[in-house]
Amino acid sequence: MLAIVREPIDPRTLEAAVRDDAYGGIATFLGVVRERADDGRVVTGLAYEAYERAAIEEFAKIEAEAQTRFGALRMAIVHRTGELAIGDIAVGVAVASVHRAAAFDACEYAIDELKRRAPIWKKEHYAGGGGEWKDNTCASGEPAH
């Protein structure tokens, strides 16, 4: 399951998409809209836009790279677009692998690469009005990796 969606993301659906009796470990990452920006401003919500076809193609490349790096696995990546409220899930990644370490590593690799490479843009909306388009960077200001 590699998708861009407008509806809420269900973590159970992500896990079901990767579940397989051959794999003993499932790792899941959920990116949730939080109430504060990295600079401390109060956030009232987010808006996401994506170049859907290119984003899904990038998800597929990330999945293939993860299989090369971490071995046999199943991966689901789903990113939401549109207007999101505080507490909404914006992105979900689930990975099933034979062992937990590979599942954790592949899940971290997928979310870091997605933030670095996928053509998805985020706008933060602030209390008191206004908003700002944000780069896909880590809180430290460094690009995700």
Question: What is the Cα–Cα distance from 59 to 74, expressed in whole angstroms?
Answer: 13
Whether 134 is covered by a domain: the verdict is no
Question: What is the pLDDT, as a whole number, of residue 127?
Answer: 94
CB atoms within 10 A of CB 33: 19
Whether 139 is covered by a domain: the verdict is no
Whether 111 is covered by a domain: the verdict is yes
Whether 80 is covered by a domain: the verdict is yes
Question: What is the Cα–Cα distance from 122 to 117, expressed in whole angstroms?
Answer: 14
Question: What is the pLDDT, as a whole number, of residue 135?
Answer: 77
Whether 12 is covered by a domain: the verdict is yes
Whether 41 is covered by a domain: the verdict is yes
- The CATH number of the domain where 78 resides is what? 3.90.1170.40
Enclosing domain of residue 10: 2-127
Whether 133 is covered by a domain: the verdict is no
Q: Tens digits of per-residue pLDDT, 44-85?
A: 999 999 999 999 999 999 999 999 999 999 999 999 999 999
- pLDDT greater than 60 at residue 1: yes
- CA angle centred on 101, ends 99 and 104, rounded to 5°: 110
Whether 144 is covered by a domain: the verdict is no
Question: What is the Cα–Cα distance from 32 to 65, expressed in whole angstroms?
Answer: 25
Q: How confident is the model at residue 138 (pLDDT cuts 50, 70, 90)?
A: low
- Tally of domains in the chain: 1
Q: How confident is the model at residue 134 (pLDDT cuts 50, 70, 90)?
A: confident
Which DSSP string do the residues of the chain spell out, in sequence order? -EEEESSPP-HHHHHHHH--TT--EEEEEEEE--SB-TTSPBEEEEEEEE-HHHHHHHHHHHHHHHHHHH-SEEEEEEEE-EEEETT-EEEEEEEEESSHHHHHHHHHHHHHHHHHHS-EEEEEEETTS-EEEE-SB-TTSSBP-
